[in-house]
């Protein structure tokens, strides 16, 4: 219905409505009018026929195969009589196609109609639905033929009103909108939807699937593409990045495209400059976009997906995913692992183990990190709990494995945590600071040894061995009542280092130290045996003895001569015992105060014992300081006090010593063991030869280097005894052969007969020491003891010194004792003016003995004896030094203290004008003692009856006496082998006290007359002396000739 007719109808109805007077009638007419109007208007809105599809470029002959499809989108039937189609040149009216259709020209609602030309062959090749209305144009071509290069179609109704239009390729002025794009051959221009925009480019698209008589197949209504010239970008930290996105409309028609972000990594942002754009088909536009990277503690890699949403079809919206990575370091502790000492991965450790904590450090960023420090803490992040760190100059793309070894010694049992932090001080400007820390939980198990095991002690340390012997050693002692398993325990000289870095020697498996026993661990078993005569329990560094178990060494263990720390530790690095010696200062819980002073070459450090015989352990140098120096190989016989019944014979020189000793020798049945400093007495030699002839075993142990050397007399005597089968050995130093004597001098004087009789004396076996004629000789004390236990004690001493396995124990044949061919021994007997005062006395009683040995016990026994004095001290000595090497003689110091306590002290000293050095020392001592109210008496050899006062004796409180070989200088007490005996017995002490006071009361001649008489007597005897000299020389010549003959046999 056109507009003119509609307006005319509206006016007629209005006149009719208002000309009547009947209101009811008017109301009914109005209602019908409105209903008619609604139907009329709805028909107007939906009654437009649409050009729905156009085939203008068929594959076959265009004269026969072009066609146009109409569609009735309304719910009304529309009669097409009088309708026309016009192209750019010709108007064609529509006609019914009776040849191919049913001849109708009316289009029912939602039906399709096909317009072809007369003579069409379209239906020969295409099938169409039966309901499709077939129409012709009124000639042999639609228009002048639909143009492949561009054309238009105008559909008009029977009133010549334009119902619909379409144009393609060419833009015609009478057609609204923009022409549709050209389509490919055999493609059709297909309407997109029933909504007519009056714009060909928007209403039509190219369809590859023609649908004559059917609904168009819309494959793509809208299609977009969005991309960027690259897909991966680096972004500097804290900087924005500008990128350009290219958006293209790939659809066949104009499209409104919305650019959005469909996916984005947390923390990342983007700003799109134009979010909504309108693009024609195949049109592109560049869109500026700003990328805002994650700022703090998030992902350093961002992925952003941009999508270009088609307004027409979301399904065909294009998208692009871009990757952005911040160019900055990003340190990351990825993982932590723990390993025990065996290298097994675990998180449970025994306290004291050395564990390794290994972390995995990764730089997730693209920039290298410089100056990276990885710190390790226990439980808390503070300086107290700091465990260590690992430093790297650079951490790049390759993973690092910072690890530390941790000594868990002292860690409390239970749960703990290891904290690992990379870049704790924030030196590295990282992308993410929150992934630099990781925690590794661990558990510590209590491994501390039981109490008894903790009481083991280091009791001996020999760190400065003699040149070329390499026989350092350490002794450990178990004071407990239990055997202690020390498998895996070790000794180290680097106790403050972590266990795995310590130099140490380790006890093998299945090793126990027995109760109340010690173990010796020596560097070289052979040279240890060489110098000590004993086998060590273990060996290290050298496998010199295949029968001695080897310690397990981590590195070569050598004790420093200049000073170091030594520690005994259990398997878990618990310090069991600890010492510091020499030039070393260590602040350590197990040691208090200064280190133990240097011992010197060849000297063994030994732990002191208290008065009850237990080792002292105060963790100070006082535990080790001792006036005594323990040289390697020296004996260490314990202090003993022996009480037993027996028999004692007393004697003194020159009064009765010869007869006393000879009587004992002559009673020998089995053995005589003699230890003597010098042996020059031919008469005692003869007595020993007689014993040898009786098949008595004779062993003599002597000093190999006495002052002045071995005399010809001694060589002569020893050769004679050896010729008769006596066994002779010497203690010697032979440094060329790496032999170092145990003692400075073997100065002891004692013998043991038949393992039952012990004789101890102060005298050498010289004619003045044990004079055959009692009128002239030294003042000496000696004693014969027939008591089983004390004799056994000294028997052990003798054989310890004699031991042929000891390197310094040389047999007779190894010493050059050649006697000059013209030598003969003087067998004359010296006679003097002394009237012997004392005879031997035999006492049967109960006795208390204290054996006295230098260097083993002499200092303690003598000091304790003097210190016990409550009334008096009587001393008789050959010489007496006031000073020792670096201090006053402790015996002198003690005497002064005792004098101040009111103790009566008397000292007899020898004075021989020929002994300049000892006279000087004795004078110093005498003066010092007298200045401290101590009486001192010199017995001068030039007026006394004695050749020398050679005694070394002490009497205390008239209750105890010391008979010994010990002079009161440092060497005798500290370095020599000396022998003595303290005896507590009234009768014994009384005997020697009487001797002492006899000597104390001796005085020089008081008148010149006596001196003249002596001289006269000498002059009267002068001729006699001449006769004796001549006789002696004659006898000597005869004896020499006889000896030559004797030695030939």
Please determine, looking at this structure, whether the domain spanning 642-814 carries the CATH number 3.30.870.10: yes
Buried b (16+ CB within 10 A) or exposed e, 99-115: ebbeebbebbeebbbbb
Report the percentage of the chain scoring pLDDT > 70: 90
Has residue 38 got a pLDDT over 60? no
254-274 pLDDT, tens per residue?
A: 888 999 998 999 889 999 998
- Per-residue confidence (pLDDT) for residue 371, from 0 to 100: 94
Summary mean pLDDT of the chain: 88
Please determine, looking at this structure, whether the domain spanning 331-445 carries the CATH number 2.60.40.10: yes
Has residue 206 got a pLDDT over 90? no
Helix (H, G, I), strand (E, B) or coil at 886: coil
Residue 350 — pLDDT band, cuts 50, 70, 90?
A: very high
Residue 130 — pLDDT band, cuts 50, 70, 90?
A: confident
Residue 140 — pLDDT band, cuts 50, 70, 90?
A: confident
Distance CA 679, CA 699 (A): 13
Strands 777-786 and 642-653: antiparallel
894-945 pLDDT, tens per residue?
A: 999 999 999 999 999 999 999 888 899 999 999 999 999 999 999 999 888 9
Has residue 402 got a pLDDT over 90? yes
Nearest to 759 by CA among 639, 663, 638, 865: 663
What is the reported pTM? Answer: 0.66
242-258 pLDDT, tens per residue?
A: 999 999 998 867 888 99
Distance CA 972, CA 980 (A): 12
Where are the domain boundaries for CATH 2.60.40.1260 in the chain?
47-207, 452-626
Using CB atoms within 10 A of its CB, is residue 585 exposed (0-12), middle (13-18) or buried (19+)? exposed
621-631 pLDDT, tens per residue?
A: 999 998 888 99
Segment 1023-1039 mean pLDDT: 45
Alpha helices in 776-884 (DSSP H): 788-802, 858-867
Segment 979-989 mean pLDDT: 98
Strands 518-522 and 538-539: parallel
Segment 713-724 mean pLDDT: 96
- Per-residue confidence (pLDDT) for residue 11, from 0 to 100: 45
Has residue 989 got a pLDDT over 90? yes
For domain 224-327, the CATH class is mainly beta
Distance CA 806, CA 790 (A): 25
Tokens of 355: 């564990």
Please determine, looking at this structure, whether the domain spanning 845-1009 carries the CATH number 3.30.870.10: yes
Where are the domain boundaries for CATH 3.30.870.10 in the chain?
642-814, 845-1009
**Running DSSP on this structure, what letter comes out for residue 537?**
S
- Per-residue confidence (pLDDT) for residue 299, from 0 to 100: 75
Segment 957-963 mean pLDDT: 97
546-556 pLDDT, tens per residue?
A: 999 999 997 89
Has residue 10 got a pLDDT over 80? no
- Per-residue confidence (pLDDT) for residue 589, from 0 to 100: 78
Segment 495-508 mean pLDDT: 91
Decide which of 922 and 47 is more confident: 922
61-110 pLDDT, tens per residue?
A: 888 889 999 999 999 999 999 999 999 888 999 999 888 888 899 999 99
Q: Where are the beta strands (DSSP E) in 686-786?
A: 697-703, 727-731, 750-753, 757-761, 777-786
- Per-residue confidence (pLDDT) for residue 950, from 0 to 100: 96
Question: What is the CB neighbour count within 10 angstroms for residue 1028?
Answer: 12
Distance CA 47, CA 636 (A): 136
Has residue 1019 got a pLDDT over 80? no
Decide which of 699 and 880 is more confident: 699
Report the percentage of the chain scoring pLDDT > 90: 72
Q: Match 């340190």 to its residue by tokens.
A: 331
47-207 belongs to which homologous superfamily? Lamin Tail domain (2.60.40.1260)
Nearest to 539 by CA among 553, 522, 517, 556: 522
Where are the domain boundaries for CATH 2.60.40.10 in the chain?
224-327, 331-445
Segment 222-235 mean pLDDT: 91
Segment 970-978 mean pLDDT: 94
Q: According to CATH, what is the number of the domain 452-626?
A: 2.60.40.1260
Sign of the Cα pseudo-torsion (482, 486, 492, 494, in order): negative
Using CB atoms within 10 A of its CB, is residue 700 exposed (0-12), middle (13-18) or buried (19+)? buried
Using CB atoms within 10 A of its CB, is residue 514 exposed (0-12), middle (13-18) or buried (19+)? exposed
- Per-residue confidence (pLDDT) for residue 445, from 0 to 100: 95
- Per-residue confidence (pLDDT) for residue 138, from 0 to 100: 84
967: CB partners within 8 A, 6+ apart: 877, 878, 879, 880, 952
Segment 1018-1038 mean pLDDT: 44
Distance CA 125, CA 210 (A): 13
Q: Under a CB-based contact definition with an 8 Å cutoff, are residues 510 and 473 in contact?
A: no
Q: Under a CB-based contact definition with an 8 Å cutoff, are residues 436 and 423 in contact?
A: yes
- Per-residue confidence (pLDDT) for residue 1023, from 0 to 100: 44
């Amino acid at each position: 219905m056109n507009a003119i007719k509609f307006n005319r109808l509206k006016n007629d109805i209005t006149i009719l409505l208002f000309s009547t007077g009947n209101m009811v009638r008017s109301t009914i007419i109005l209602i019908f009018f409105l209903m008619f109007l609604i139907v009329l208007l709805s028909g107007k809105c939906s009654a437009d026929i649409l050009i729905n599809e156009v085939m203008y470029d068929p594959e076959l002959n265009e004269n026969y195969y072009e066609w146009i499809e109409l569609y009735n989108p309304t719910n009304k039937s529309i009669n097409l009589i009088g309708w026309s189609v016009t192209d750019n040149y010709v108007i064609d009216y529509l006609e019914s196609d009776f040849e191919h259709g049913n001849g109708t020209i009316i289009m029912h609602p939602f039906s399709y109609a096909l317009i072809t030309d007369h003579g069409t062959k379209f239906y020969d090749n295409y099938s169409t639905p039966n309901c499709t209305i077939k129409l012709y144009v009124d000639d042999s071509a639609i228009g002048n033929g639909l143009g492949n290069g561009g054309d238009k179609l105008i559909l008009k109704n029977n009133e010549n009103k334009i119902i619909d239009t379409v144009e393609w390729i060419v833009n015609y002025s009478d057609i609204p909108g923009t022409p549709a794009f050209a389509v490919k051959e055999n493609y059709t221009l297909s309407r997109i939807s029933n909504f007519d925009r009056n714009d060909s480019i928007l209403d039509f698209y190219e369809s590859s699937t023609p649908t004559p008589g059917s609904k168009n197949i819309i494959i793509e209504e809208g299609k977009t593409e969005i991309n960027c010239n690259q897909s991966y970008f680096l972004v500097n930290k804290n900087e924005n990045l500008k990128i350009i996105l290219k958006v293209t409309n790939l659809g066949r028609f104009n499209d409104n495209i919305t650019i959005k972000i469909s996916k984005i990594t947390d923390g990342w942002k983007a700003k799109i400059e134009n979010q909504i754009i309108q693009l024609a088909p195949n049109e592109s536009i560049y869109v500026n976009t700003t990328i805002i990277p994650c700022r703090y503690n998030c992902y350093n890699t961002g992925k952003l997906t941009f999508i270009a949403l088609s307004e027409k079809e979301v399904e065909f919206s294009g998208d692009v995913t871009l990757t952005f990575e911040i160019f900055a370091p990003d340190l990351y502790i990825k993982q932590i692992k723990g390993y025990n000492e065996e290298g097994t991965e675990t998180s449970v450790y025994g306290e004291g183990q050395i564990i390794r904590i290994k972390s995995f450090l990764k730089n997730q960023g693209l920039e290298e990190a410089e100056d990276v420090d990885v710190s390790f803490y226990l439980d808390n992040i503070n300086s107290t709990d700091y465990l260590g760190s690992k430093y790297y100059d650079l951490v790049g793309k390759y993973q690092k494995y910072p690890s530390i070894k941790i000594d868990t010694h002292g860690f409390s049992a239970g749960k703990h945590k290891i904290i690992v932090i990379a870049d704790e001080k924030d030196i590295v400007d990282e992308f993410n600071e929150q992934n630099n820390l990781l925690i590794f939980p661990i558990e510590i198990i209590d491994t501390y040894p039981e109490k008894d095991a903790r009481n083991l002690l280091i009791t001996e340390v020999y760190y400065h061995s003699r040149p070329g012997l390499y026989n350092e050693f350490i002794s450990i002692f178990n004071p407990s009542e239990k055997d202690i398993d020390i498998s895996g325990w070790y000794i180290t000289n680097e106790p403050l280092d972590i266990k795995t870095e310590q130099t140490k020697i380790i006890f093998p498996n299945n090793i126990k130290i027995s109760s109340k026993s010690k173990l010796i661990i020596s560097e070289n078993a052979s040279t240890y045996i060489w110098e000590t005569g004993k086998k060590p329990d273990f060996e290290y560094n050298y496998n010199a003895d295949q029968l001695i178990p080897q310690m397990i060494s981590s590195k070569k263990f050598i004790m420093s001569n200049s000073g170091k720390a030594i520690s005994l530790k259990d398997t878990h690095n618990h310090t069991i015992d600890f010492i510091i010696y020499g030039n070393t200062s260590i602040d350590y819980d197990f040691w208090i105060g200064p280190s133990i002073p240097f011992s010197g070459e060849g000297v063994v450090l030994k732990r002191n014992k208290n008065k009850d015989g237990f080792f002292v352990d105060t963790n100070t140098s006082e535990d080790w300081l001792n006036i005594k120096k323990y040289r390697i190989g020296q004996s260490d016989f314990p202090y003993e006090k022996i009480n037993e019944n027996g028999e004692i014979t007393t004697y003194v020189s020159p009064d009765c010593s010869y007869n006393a000793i000879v009587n004992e020798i002559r009673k020998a049945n089995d053995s005589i063991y003699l230890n003597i400093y010098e042996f020059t007495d031919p008469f005692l030699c003869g007595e020993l030869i007689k014993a040898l002839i009786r098949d008595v075993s004779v062993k003599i142990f002597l000093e190999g280097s006495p002052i002045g050397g071995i005399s010809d007399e001694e060589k002569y005597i020893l050769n004679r005894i050896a010729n008769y089968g006596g066994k002779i050995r010497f203690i010697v130093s032979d440094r060329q052969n790496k032999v170092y004597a145990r003692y400075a001098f073997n100065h002891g004087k004692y013998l043991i007969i038949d393992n039952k009789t012990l004789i101890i004396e102060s005298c050498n076996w010289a004619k003045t020491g044990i004079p055959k004629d009692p009128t002239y000789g030294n003042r000496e004390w000696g004693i014969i003891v027939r008591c089983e236990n004390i004799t056994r004690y000294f028997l052990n001493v003798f054989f310890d010194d004699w031991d042929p396995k000891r390197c310094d124990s040389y047999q007779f044949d190894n010493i050059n004792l050649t006697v000059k061919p013209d030598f003969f021994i003087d067998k004359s007997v010296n006679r003097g003016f002394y009237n012997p005062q004392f005879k031997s006395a035999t006492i049967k009683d109960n006795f208390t003995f204290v054996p006295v040995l230098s260097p083993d016990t002499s200092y303690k026994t003598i000091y304790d004896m003097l210190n016990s004095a409550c009334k008096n001290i009587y001393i008789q000595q050959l010489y007496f030094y006031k000073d020792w090497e670096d201090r006053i003689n402790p015996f002198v110091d003690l005497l002064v203290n005792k004098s101040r306590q009111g103790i009566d002290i008397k000292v007899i000293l020898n004075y021989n004008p020929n002994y300049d050095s000892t006279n000087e020392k004795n004078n110093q001592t005498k003066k010092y003692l007298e200045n401290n109210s101590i009486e001192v008496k010199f017995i001068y050899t030039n007026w006394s009856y004695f050749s020398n006062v050679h005694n070394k004796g002490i009497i205390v409180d008239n209750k105890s006496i010391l008979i010994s070989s010990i002079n009161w200088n440092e060497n005798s007490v500290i370095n020599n082998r000396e022998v003595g005996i303290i005896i507590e017995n009234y009768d014994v002490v009384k005997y020697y006290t009487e001797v002492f006071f006899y000597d104390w009361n001796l005085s020089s001649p008081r008148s010149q007359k006596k001196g003249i008489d002596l001289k006269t007597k000498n002059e009267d005897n002068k001729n006699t002396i001449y006769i004796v000299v001549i006789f002696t020389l004659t006898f000597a010549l005869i004896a020499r000739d006889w000896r030559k003959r004797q030695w030939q046999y």
